[in-house]
Amino acid sequence: MAMTGVLRPGHVQIRVLDMEASLTHYIERMGLLETDRDDQGRVYLKGWDEHDWFSVVLRPADTPGMDFTAFKVDSVETLNRLEQSLKDFGCEITRLPAGDLKHCGERVSFISPMGHTFELFAQKDYIGNGLGNINPHPWREDLKGMKVHRFDHCLLYGDDLDGAVKLFTEVLGFQQTEKVVVGPGGSVQIASFLTCGMKAHDLALIRHEEKGKLHHVSFLLRSWEEVLHAADIMGRYKIPIDIGPTRHGITRGRTIYFFDPSGNRNETFCDSYDWYPDHPEITWTEDELGGAIFYHDQQLNERFLSVVT
């Protein structure tokens, strides 16, 4: 199977209250690299092993949260086709011109039934991962802090989960890898884990009364040792930890959650499984929800479930 259509998470724009403190957090502590700034005061960042110019944009604002997150598609033809499909689904579309975000081509912006702004784009300038493409070294020696490899996914909270799952699966070609159901006979779905490629999740959605909230922005690490090292960085610099290091039953991720200086939750995690389109969907039920979310102590944590920006 060749990967076509929507390829992967491309970027996320995060609102921050204090840019200077945020740059210390995302660059010095997490290890993202700064790749540009613009006249709106936005700062562009990327994980070291990403090849496109940026994957995280920080925007100064007086409330935290997520402005939008975007997926890269395989071609301009796909972008145009999906734009029409989104219109047919009933989404209001905004076309943003190339250069509105520096180094990024035209973007198709739409609002999901859960209230979040998503974007699709087909082109972004290439910057590379700093190792070169001919006889590259396998690692960089100039990385800081947690040395996150890449922006991986977002988990978003909002009201119309069923509508959002329908949009991502039926219009954009995502597959649901895992879901959480509650209520009599598991009749109400409260969480969806969606993939557009071979990861256990490229997007996670949870039902919540308020529209458009951010639960976390996640960054990839490659080993449990790297997750523990991230925890050491949090201890050393008194970064407020939400929970972990621990493991999720859902997606099998080994993880630690913490907060940026504006109260936006971040995750650094490693491990999961490879997803193929012929794999069965996994279901988690209400009676095992504790272990689904936190596999080690099998207990839910009120802060993890309720604090969002």
Q: How would you class 148 by CB atoms within 10 Å of its CB: exposed for 0-12, middle for 13-18, buried for 19 or more?
A: buried
Residue 64 within binding range of other proteins, rule CB under 8 A: yes
Using CB under 8 A, which residues numbered 279 to 308 contact other proteins?
A: 302-303, 306-308
The two three-digit tokens of residue 259, written as one number:
């907060």
Residue with smaller CB distance to other proteins, 110 or 259: 259
Catalytic residue among 11, 153, 208, 215: 153
Asked if 215 is an active-site residue, the reply is: no
- Cis geometry, peptide bond prior to residue 245 (ω within 30 degrees of 0): yes
Closest CB 82 distance from other proteins, rounded Å:
32
Residue with smaller CB distance to other proteins, 19 or 57: 19
Residue with smaller CB distance to other proteins, 60 or 173: 60
Give backbone dihedrals phi and psi of 197, rounded to 5 degrees, phi first. Answer: -145, -120
Q: 185: which DSSP letter?
A: G
Residue 113 within binding range of other proteins, rule CB under 8 A: no
Residue 158 within binding range of other proteins, rule CB under 8 A: no
Residue 243 within binding range of other proteins, rule CB under 8 A: no
Closest CB 33 distance from other proteins, rounded Å:
23
Nearest to 58 by CA among 203, 174, 204, 217: 217
Strands (E), the chain: 6-16, 33-37, 43-46, 56-60, 65-73, 93-96, 107-111, 117-121, 150-158, 175-182, 188-195, 203-207, 213-220, 241-247, 254-259, 265-270, 282-285
The two three-digit tokens of residue 287, written as one number:
């009676």
State which of residues 168, 259, 284, 294 lies at the interface with other proteins (CB under 8 A).
Answer: 259
Residue 178 within binding range of other proteins, rule CB under 8 A: no
State which of residues 18, 77, 232, 281 lies at the interface with other proteins (CB under 8 A).
Answer: 18
Q: 240: which DSSP letter?
A: P
Residue with smaller CB distance to other proteins, 9 or 64: 64
Residue 93 within binding range of other proteins, rule CB under 8 A: no
Q: 13: which DSSP letter?
A: E
Closest CB 30 distance from other proteins, rounded Å:
14
Catalytic residues, by residue number, are 153, 201, 216, 248, 257, 267
Give contact residues for other proteins (rule: CB under 8 A): 17-18, 62-65, 240, 242, 259-265, 302-303, 306-309
